[in-house]
Amino acid sequence: MKKIGKKITAALLLLLSISFAACGTKEPAAPETPETPATSEEDLFTPGTYEGTAKGYHGDITLTVTVDENNILEIKSEHTETKGLGDKAVSTLTEAALEKASLSMDLVSGATYSSQGFLAALEAALVKAGADIEKLKVKESVEVEKKDQEFDTEVAIIGGGGAGLAAAVSAHQNGAKVLLVEKMPNIGGNTIISGSAFNAVDPKRQSAQGIEDSVEKHFQQTYEGGDKKGDPELVRVLVENAYPTIEWLESLGMKFTDKVFTVLGALWPRSHKPVEPLGTGYVNTFMNYINEHKDDITVLTEVEAKELLVNADGAVTGFLAEGKNGKITVNAKNGVIIATGGFGANVEMRDQYNTIWPKLTNIKTTNHRGATGDGILMAEKINASIVQMENIQLLPMGDPETGSLSGNIEQGVENRIFVNAEGNRFVDEGARRDVMTRALMEQADSMMWVIVDQHSYPTGDTVNNFNETIDSLVKEGRAYKADTLEDLAKQIGVEPENLVKAVEAFNASVDGAKDEFGRTLFMDKLDTAPFYAGKRVPTVHHTMGGIKITPETRVVDQNGEIIKGLFAAGEVTGGIHGANRLGGNALADVHTFGRIAGATAATEGNE
């Protein structure tokens, strides 16, 4: 249970939007009073304590709500929502409901399903309190004085995901005053909901595990893994600066585990995992720095950039934006960094540029809802070169209900197999992401089961890469558990004989037999109960096309000339990964080029 007081200041609301405290301890639900109508026409509620339950992202959200005639006095919550995201949504919406009894609250960015579950549970409780639900859902029209604003800064950044935050910190470290705008209510973008893997050649960690690697190997796998369509200069910058960027993050206080692994589609064990869940470690690290330097770094949320400002010489000098209370003009002495992410959540843009996949209209995405390609469109309007937009990455690892990567039971490439609806393997599970996804699309219902055993989950409270325990996933029906492969097969509806044969063949390959699909990445056999299965489908994950940049992150126009004062970093850029991005290279890209963009803009400006 979690108990939160009624009053909250604006400062605390801001803190809740960028900090990710875990849920408090849970208590038994308070007894519920009988359902009765409100005591008078003027009253909102019948005083008492009521309980409401609804499905969140990871199971039920149960709220115990205490009300008087016109106020929500207390909300206690019981849930298993993801630490760092879902629990933040519950906390933020609880405070909003206590501040003003209403059901018209906005969903928390990055935690849509948790937000919807909270509101549904609150509604269920307030129905029992005799509330007029439709009245509570009506947003009050508050007269807010529209006031245009103008800001002067040195480096202006559009986008508050990993690339934008990295750029903000780097620019400040290099002596610049910084202003960052983010159109969503919360900071974090796709980074905060990512699986968090960061590829880098790391002699210290890899040698401790007996792993041989080199920057050249990382370069070759990245370049060739993208069908040699990536810009070699940009690939070289990425692989040579990835580990220094990890060291930079560590210097800011971020912590990574000592063990590297092979994330899906990484092709080699060089993926680093943060200690904090999902991508919260990256965001918290940057926000801690930003909060310590508020005099020089300004962050504005719910501000959507609309148009780049260009002077008579063709240099970008700022941008126009729309805020909640009026128009905003940002003047940037040194220039503007676009870090708005890709367009994975923009179905129209996906359909417009897709030439390599079947129709993507009805395919869900791992991306947050703000990944709509805004920065690409703004840059294109001032003649920026836009490249390789057809290169859209799909993953075979989407949640069947949401498209999210959460709920995925794999811990690394080496210790799991994929089987189709018949219980048969169908692909090299260590292959490129596009290869695996194409193979999955050829299976019945484009669906597969991930199979692991106790090697991946020594105990029931072992967490996956999204900080979800395997026991919780089984309880929620998102994973299945059995002491035998035959029983597991029956639970998931595949042919037991096929599943047993698939596992036996895999185990033989671990011992050195040639794998029928050419797989080369192995560690442990699947031979120790309990065995687990999790269902997965294709999902849109990353858009490799976007704004063309130089190795210093300067934006190039359609004539090949540099656009003065304009920089770009992260998924909004194109030409780094080519036709296929290696797993674990996105966060390396985002933070490496974000760091470079901040330094370049701060020190060289619009020269």
pLDDT at site 345: 96
Q: What is the pLDDT of residue 366?
A: 95
- Rg, Å, the chain Cα set: 25
Q: Which amino acid does the sequence have at 243? A: Y
| Residue 3 confidence (pLDDT) | 37
Determine the pLDDT at residue 88: 82
Q: What is the tens place of the pLDDT at every residue in 210-239?
A: 999 999 999 999 999 999 999 999 999 999
Q: Following DSSP, what letter does each residue of 13-24 receive, concatenated?
A: HHHHHH--PPP-
The predicted pLDDT at position 8 comes to 33
Q: Of the residues 205, 425, 433, 519, which is catalytic?
A: 433
pLDDT of residue 441: 97
Give the chain's residues under pLDDT 50. 1-38
- What are 533's two structure tokens? 């299965």
Question: Looking at residue 40, what is its pLDDT?
Answer: 54
Q: Characterize the bridge pairing of strands 271-272 and 198-199.
A: antiparallel
Give me the residue spans of the domains in the chain: 3-137, 155-391+544-604, 395-539
Q: What torsion do the CA atoms of 242, 245, 249, 252 make, to the nearest 10 degrees? A: 170
Burial class, 313, CB count within 10 angstroms (exposed 0-12 / middle 13-18 / buried 19+): exposed
pLDDT of residue 142: 58
Residue located via tokens 């912590």 = 255
Q: Are the beta carbons of 185 and 160 closer than 8 angstroms?
A: no
The verdict on domain 395-539 having CATH code 3.90.700.10 is yes
| pLDDT tens-digit series, residues 531-551 | 999 999 999 999 999 999 999
Q: What is the CATH number of domain 3-137?
A: 3.90.1010
For residue 18, the model assigns a pLDDT of 35
The rounded Cα 296 to chain-centroid distance in angstroms is: 28
**Nearest-angstrom CA–CA distance, 134 and 141:** 15
CA distances from 206 to 136, 214, 272, 596 (A): 56, 10, 10, 26
According to the CATH classification, is domain 155-391+544-604 in 3.50.50.60? yes
Q: Is 270 a catalytic residue?
A: no
For 118, other C-beta atoms within 10 Å of its C-beta total 32
Residue with tokens 């369509």: 229
- Helix, strand, coil: what percent of the chain each, to 5? 30, 20, 45
395-539 shares the fold of 3-137: no
- Residue 300 structure tokens: 């504005």
> Could you tell me which residues are beta bridge partners of residue 555?
549
H-type alpha helices, 110-229: 112-128, 133-137, 162-173, 203-208, 215-225
- DSSP for 504-536 reads HHHHHHHTTPPPTT------S-S-SSSEEEEEE
* Cβ atoms < 10 Å from Cβ of 5: 10
Nearest residue to 354 (alpha-carbon basis) of 314, 298, 400, 394: 394
